[in-house]
Amino acid sequence: MAQQLKKYRAAIIGCGRVAWMLEDDPLEIKPCTHMGAYRKVSFDIGRVEVVAAADLNGKRLEAFGHRFGVSSLYKDYKEMLEKERPEILSICAYAPERFTMLMDSIDAGVKGIWCEKAFATTLEEGRMMKEALEKNGVSLIVSHLRRWSGDYRKTKEIIENGSIGELQSIVCHFSGSLIHTGTHAFDILGWFGGPVQWVQGELENGSGELPWDNIEDIGGRAFIKFKNGVYATVHAESKGYFFFEFDIIGSHGRIRIGNNGLLEYYLPKDSTHYTGLKELLPEQFPSFENKNIWTEALTHLLDCVDGSDKSIDGAQEGIEALEMALAIHESARQDGSKVYLPLESKIKVRSR
């Protein structure tokens, strides 16, 4: 007889778009929010139930409660933690508030945290958060959700099993800011490429004269060297459209992957233009299981709390993604010099 898994009490801090409101977007594949994932996992396997929520915006809080039948609603998240004692917590508030919220939730006895990105606004915050999590045995995932996407997981498998030969370079394009959007990209770059040796970059406005204790989250460009000799280039300029893409080059193949269903696979075959040469030609991408990234992320967190899965260090992943983004700012401050990691800069980002 299968062992019955414990059902956890969960709560949400911050009742905005990513917490639940995007569930009303008719174009999104559902579930596509924290609450959507909680409801789906609760309905399918009954492992978790959202019992409370907190938000300073009374109208959003009331709308959330009415929509999902949650009656324990609080404007003060500390009061919620004290009275409700949730075991699982989603932190969907803005980045500058996450450090204090995470520390308070650990003190309140929370055992599993699903934190939005960026994980922190400074590396010092991130490292303190990681230390507190480990000291208290609290599991954490950061919402770098492409890690749970079937196509990205298969791409990582292809890289690791050598199907495109030796990984040589990755070109990354995205629209938006280096922190708010960019940490998604930097998380994947680290996942595919491994530990970073140095970062060289510039900011979109070309200026290094910024208040480094409270920087603006803007775009930029970067050249990154990984410790295994792989290189990456990053283009993160502002655009009038959404764009997120990786072009992964190996010694014997290529993969392009990104948003809007982009998934291309190329392998060397006899050239149709030059006798005796090989060229990269399209190949069928290997099959993969494509589960919902939101429910997969939540299920992984619950497995971590149960102790059945210890494969991912969410805090370290969050730190590493933030570190790459902040290293671009630090390089810009140093007139485009190479910045070696680990980064010891005191840069603080004013991120959403």
CATH code of the region 8-146+295-311: 3.40.50.720
User: pLDDT-based confidence at 229, cuts 50/70/90?
Assistant: very high
> Which of 293, 301, 290, 299 has its CA nearest to residue 41?
299
Residues 195-213: tens digit of each pLDDT: 999 999 999 976 555 555 6
| pLDDT tens column, 7-35 | 999 999 999 999 999 999 999 999 999 99
Q: What is the pLDDT of residue 312?
A: 73
Q: Which fold has domain 150-285+318-350?
A: Dihydrodipicolinate Reductase; domain 2 (3.30.360)
Does residue 351 have a pLDDT over 80? Answer: no
The per-residue pLDDT for 345 is 82
Q: Which pLDDT score, from 0 to 100, does residue 346 have?
A: 83
pTM of the model: 0.94
Q: Taking Cα atoms as reference points, which of 150, 157, 219 lies closest to residue 185?
A: 219
* pLDDT single digits (tens) 278-337: 999 999 999 999 999 999 999 999 999 998 877 778 999 999 999 999 999 999 999 999
Extract the runs of DSSP E, i.e. beta strands, from the chain: 8-13, 48-54, 72-74, 88-91, 112-115, 139-142, 167-174, 196-203, 215-216, 220-226, 231-236, 244-250, 253-258, 263-270, 278-283, 339-340, 349-350
pLDDT tens by residue, 58-91: 999 999 999 999 999 999 999 999 999 999 999 9
| Domain spans in the chain, listed from the N-terminal domain onward | 8-146+295-311, 150-285+318-350
